[in-house]
Each structure stands twice: as structure tokens, then as C-alpha cells.
Amino acid sequence: MTDDPIGTGPGAITNDGCAVEFYGLLPTVGEPEIVHAAVPPGASILELGCGTGRILRPLAAWGHPVTGVDHSSDMLAKSPDLETVCSPIQSLRLNRSFDVVLLASQMINSDPVTRQDFLATVRHHLRDGGIAVFQQSPPTWFEKLEHAEPVVETAGIRRTIRLARWEPPRMRAEVEYQVGENTWSHAWSSYMLTDEALVGDLAAAGLRFGEWLRDNRAWFTAHPA
Ligand SMILES: C[S@@+](CC[C@H](N)C(=O)[O-])C[C@H]1O[C@@H](n2cnc3c(N)ncnc32)[C@H](O)[C@@H]1O
């Protein structure tokens, strides 16, 4: 396996290896609720890497004006009901700011250069006094993946871990998803963020750490510094 993300299976696959049809089937597992509880009612939300709008759609239904950004037009074609922008996150410079910028789906665990570019885009679009909300691969994910139950089935999705190799500072992972007759695979690297690296990377982007939203440290907030 190379360091580049790879995805296989039916339908379009994004540059980072995500299967569009699979994401179209994937239910939420509490992500919109976590974001909604962390931000003021009616706060405008920009999600970077929104995919099919899986997380944004319930937030829109709860009264948040939402905008989604993704570089995959195939993903965005699944969300005609939402305001979206097709763009790489790194070069996105909209002429407006938002109450909340969301970077979910462990995208902050990208390689350090990409992470810094993502954080600069988060800061650029966050209004003064706004809240950035992040979902990361928490420390326990890195500790447990190599020894995790390889096959788990939930909500009709059978997940098989094909590879979990800890090569500090990154975990190389390959996971297969089976839904009915369809099988997709996704291989990627997830870079662990120490607390020091997190605080330093946020500061370099003009952000300061806010609070952990979950005891397992999978979700946290940040604010303009
Ligand atoms: C793992 S999926 C998650 C989608 C969505 N956040 C969710 O939870 O359903 C990651 C998404 O980010 C998009 N993406 C990855 N890297 C990107 C980049 N550099 N610029 C824009 N979009 C990107 C992919 O196309 C994909 O739709």
C-alpha cells in the first residue's frame, strides 16, 4: 500500500478514496447532534469536506443556515437540497465568514502540511467570536485499531479491517465495507495528533483550543486566537 489514499468499489471514488455511493448509504451516528449542542441556535455553519451532506442536512433541518464544501462534484451531486461549493479546501477563500466552521470525519488527521492548510481555511472563514468544531481520530483509536475486532456489522454495514499498521506518527489503515451485494474498500493514513502538536498547529493558524466535546477526545472546539 502506498501513502496515497485508495478506494475501490462501485460508483465514483473521490481523490481521498471515499466511495460516493457508500457515503450516500451511511447513516449519521450522532455527529449532527454533537455539533448542534456545541454551537448557538441558528448559527451559520460551513462544513469543509461535506461529502453527501450527511452531517449538514440534519443541521439545516434544525435551523442552521449551512454551506458545504467538497472537491468532489460526485459527492455534491448527492446534496442538491443544500448550498454547496465545489473546491479544494486548501484554496477555498469565500468572501464571507461563518459563525461555525466544521472539519469533521477525521480530516484533521491528514498529513501535517495538509492539516496546516485546512486549518488556515478554517480560520479564514471563521468570524471573530465564532466556533470551529473538529472531529479527530482520538488517541484510543490509534491504541486499539491493530487489536480491534476485525469484523463488525452495524445498521446493515459490515466493516472488515484489512490492515491496521502503526508506523509513527501515522496509522496505515485499510477497511472494507459491505452493504448487500456491494463491497467498497478504503485505504488511507491517519496522522496522530499529540496535544502539543494540536495546540501548536491551531496557534499557527490563528486559532486557540476551546474544549473537548467528548471524554474520548474525538470532538473539540477552537476559537479565533
Ligand atoms: C470521509 S468523507 C466525509 C464526508 C462527510 N464529512 C461525512 O462525514 O459524511 C471526506 C470528504 O472530504 C472530501 N475531501 C477530502 N479532501 C478534500 C480536500 N482537500 N478538499 C475538498 N474536499 C476534500 C472528500 O471528497 C469527501 O467527500
pLDDT digits (tens, 9 = 90+) for 175-211: 999 999 999 999 999 999 999 999 999 999 999 999 9
Q: How many domains does the chain have?
A: 2
**Whether residues 30 and 67 fall in one domain:** yes
**Whether residues 56 and 158 fall in one domain:** no
**Whether residues 96 and 175 fall in one domain:** no
> Ligand 1 within 6 A of 186 CB?
no
> Ligand 1 within 6 A of 89 CB?
yes
Reported as a single tens digit per residue, the pLDDT across 146-182 is 888 899 999 899 999 999 999 999 999 999 999 999 9
Dist. CA 149 → ligand 1 center (Å): 26
* DSSP track, 94-110: -S--EEEEEE-TTGGGS
Dist. CA 98 → ligand 1 center (Å): 19
Reported as a single tens digit per residue, the pLDDT across 57-101 is 999 999 999 999 999 999 999 999 999 999 999 999 999 999 999
Q: What is the pTM of this model?
A: 0.96
**Taking a C-beta distance cutoff of 8 angstroms, is the pair 153, 176 a contact?**
no
What dihedral angle (degrees, nearest 10) is formed by the CA atoms of 94, 75, 53, 211? Answer: -70
